[in-house]
Chains A and B, each alone.
Chain A
Amino acid sequence: MRFLIKNSRIIDPSRNFDEPGDILIEDGKVKDIGKNINLEADKIIEASGKIAMPGLVDMHVHLREPGREDKETVESGTRAAAKGGVTSVLAMPNTEPAIDCADSIERIKRISEERAKINVFIAAAITKGRAGRELTDIKKFKNLGVVAVTDDGSSVDDASLMLQAFSAAGKERILVICHCEDRKLSAAGQVNKGLTSTRMGLRGICRESEYSRVKRDIELSAKAGSRVHIAHVSCRESIEIIAKAKKKGINVTAETAPHYFSFNENEVTGFDTNKKMNPPLRSQDDVLSLKQALAEGVIDVVASDHAPHTENEKDVEFDKAAFGVTGLETELSACIELVEEGRLDWLKLSRLIAYNPASILGINKGSLRPGSDADIILVDADKKWQVARGNFVSKSKNSCFIGSTLKGVVEYTILDGRIIYEAGLQGKK
């Protein structure tokens, strides 16, 4: 099967390539990129005015299966991903039961093989049942295809246990992803601590609860000689700690999520539970620091932390509402906003959402180099769309972008050379 994409602006972050041209796909792989490829093809898309780039590699996604299929399934979550231009996800292990042993890993692999619309990579838990008490069998995980370990949703409080985890993961060359939160400090907090928590009459989540754990986990990883990846960075101090560690040559990478640079804490003061997440929306100063850190490369990755919840868990009192927001279908547009603002160019953007997460996970994605898997998206970068509850593919509708007008629409999502999503066709099936 031969597939030709004509006349798009091609962004390949793996080799700093940003030029107009044609993409030839053969047997699911990128065969050639060049000007005026005029071959016979089984399918040709005329894509002038569109941007062609590697599909997003979202390294922080809660697919909720098994256990909470009422919120999301592998099927619905990956279909939402395809709409958002995401062709690979790292599925978080805080399912019910947690992905913490060979059986549960095999099970989620089987479910993914049967029902996933895109590539699903698997993260397993650091501790059994994510309870923070006993390490999982990390050395077995690599052979089972696990690419990272994380207790996301919680941090491992016991520092000596965490050190052992880093040592075990370091030996196996498995990435450790840290949800950095000291619950002793964030205890029962709901929103950013400070004027916001005071105005709202809620307990606050202090910045120290995040950055003190960022600092600890970087130190422990360095001691163990392991890599560490910091999930959902939300505040300036965390950025400074990460920047300093990077300067020292410590093997640390970091991600943030679109909501942290798209909104500041003022958004939550009307008690909208769709703006409640952990860590919380922070100050405008943090928003600006995050944007700068993305532009400068201190933060390597934008990932959605797609956290679907049912209406029952969100349409309640603020302090009873679940933490977390969906993000697969809005993340690309939220990032395009940074290009619009002039903080990123398309190559940098593509690195943050595709090339960097793929390299950090050690998976062969995020590139359009001839020979790579043809996971490609075609984007109409100028097209605006109104985010509304009704237009989500995800089972859950808890998006903090509802009501916003965003720019950038995915026209085609191509996986292994096959079109798996085409704008305008969705929903008519």
Chain B
Amino acid sequence: MNWKRKDLLGLEELSREEIVAILDTAASFKEVSTREIKKVPALRGKTVVNLFYEPSTRTRVSFEVAAKRLSADVINVAIETSSVRKGETLIDTGRNIEALKADVIVMRHSSSGAAAILAKKVNANVVNAGDGWHEHPTQALLDMFTLKEKTGEIKGLKVCIIGDIAHSRVARSNIWGLTKLGAEVIVCAPRMLIPPEIEKMGVKVSSNADKAIRGVDAVNVLRMQFERDEKTAFPQRLEYYKNFGITKERLHKAGGNIIVMHPGPINRGVEISSEVADGPNSVILEQVTNGIAVRMAVLFLVAGGEKNRT
């Protein structure tokens, strides 16, 4: 298919065909990373700016490697967001970066919708690298890519997303992506971490981890952060691990043969046991590898790279 979007803001707005196109493009790029010279000239002469309002070494590095393997020039801009310092507005920053002749702006921001707001104001292609609790499309795409690689087909799979669903952009993007590709999705968390009416997004909701993961093909374990400055009540750390932590015993009880994913960085002994994270069910490191191929595909497609041959 012909890619027509200027930006990648989220998976909610993508069609099934567009998601498949990204995954297929990623598959062809994965091979590049196995070559001796891990580079193609697809985005030669283009400039990719990583604009990060939140520190995230993993995602930033992954985009940086992806852009470089496409021969693009990469500039990293980290913006401090201390509430004391009154900096320039998001749109001013975006326009300034564009004035440097940036072709693609990859943005991580703590406000939901920030990428959508920026995208309307700049001509550069905007790739959302995570906005607030809203979406983290490339993470979900790499999760799906990994699942597809492991199982052959997303359609018909049963996937449980477990953890702080309410505050998770990874969960939202996975829900849109997986349901569009025909997977069955169960979200599992303590009631207080389930956002209202999420079942209307086409998922099943459970607060019983053992029931939720019984018979699933994969479980996507979200990073738990207990230090949020939230008024919402949070579960106790140990209690959470006991009831929702992904351990060998819990996996065994649920049927054993379950793919375990995690967007990282992992909290060992908080949401997942070391044994599982490092064990045979885990595809966590493969996700990191696949992240580069998926981000290469996204950068390539939005930057109009289809005119170039890989």
Residue numbers of A with Cβ under 8 A of B are: 187-188, 193-195, 197-202, 204, 270-271, 273, 312, 315-320
Contact = CB atoms under 8 A, between A and B. Distances in A.
Contacts of B89: 312, 315-316
B109 interface: yes
Most A Cβ at <10 Å: residue of B89, B134, B195: B195
19 contacts: A187-B231, A193-B196, A194-B196, A194-B197, A195-B196, A195-B198, A201-B135, A270-B116, A271-B117, A273-B117, A315-B89, A317-B90, A317-B113, A317-B114, A318-B114, A319-B111, A319-B112, A319-B113, A319-B132
Contacts of A199: 12, 172, 201
Candidate in B12, B113, B195, B200 with the most chain A CB atoms within 10 angstroms: B113
Contacts of B195: 197-198
Contacts of A195: 196-198, 200-201
Contacts of B121: 315
Contact of A202 (B91, B112, B135, B197): B112
B201 A200 contact: no
A318 B12 contact: no
Contacts of B231: 187-188
A201 B133 CA distance: 5
A201 B132 contact: yes
B271 to A, nearest CB: 20
B196 A200 contact: no
Nearest to B165: A198
Interface residues of B, number: 26
B131 interface: yes
Given A204-B196, A317-B90, A318-B114, 19 more contacts: A194-B197, A195-B200, A195-B201, A200-B112, A200-B113, A201-B113, A201-B131, A202-B112, A202-B133, A202-B134, A271-B112, A271-B116, A315-B91, A316-B117, A318-B111, A318-B112, A319-B111, A319-B112, A320-B111
A195 B91 CA distance: 28
Contacts of A200: 112-113, 134
B117 A198 contact: no
A225 B76 CA distance: 65
Given A315-B89, A317-B117, A318-B117, A201 B197 contact: no
A77 to B, nearest CB: 26
Interface string B214-236: 00000000000000000100000
A271 B113 contact: yes
Contact of A201 (B91, B117, B134): B134
B169 interface: yes
Interface string B113-124: 110110001000
A200 B197 CA distance: 12
Contacts of B112: 200-202, 271, 318-319
Lowest 4 A-B CB distances belong to which pairs?
A: A271-B113, A201-B133, A201-B134, A317-B111
Among the interface residues A193, A204, A273, A318, which one has the most CB atoms of the partner chain B within 10 A? A318
Interface in B47-85: none
A173 B172 CA distance: 53
A271 B126 CA distance: 15
Contacts of A317: 90, 109, 111, 113-114, 117
Contacts of B198: 195, 198
A317 B197 CA distance: 24
Nearest to B113: A271
Give the one of B109, B121, B197, B198 with max A CB within 10 A.
B197
Counting chain A CB atoms within 10 Å of each CB, the highest count among B91, B117, B131, B172 belongs to B117
A195 B114 CA distance: 19
A203 to B, nearest CB: 9
B91 A198 contact: no
A319 B172 CA distance: 18
- Looking at A193, A198, A200, A319, which has the most chain B CB atoms within 10 Å of its CB? A198
Nearest to B194: A198
A405 B112 CA distance: 30
A316 B113 contact: no
Nearest to B92: A315
A316 B113 CA distance: 10
B113 A318 contact: yes
B301 to A, nearest CB: 21
Nearest to B115: A271
Contacts of A188: 231
Nearest to B89: A316
A201 B136 CA distance: 11
Contact of B196 (A187, A198, A271): A198
B90 A201 contact: no
A390 B169 CA distance: 37
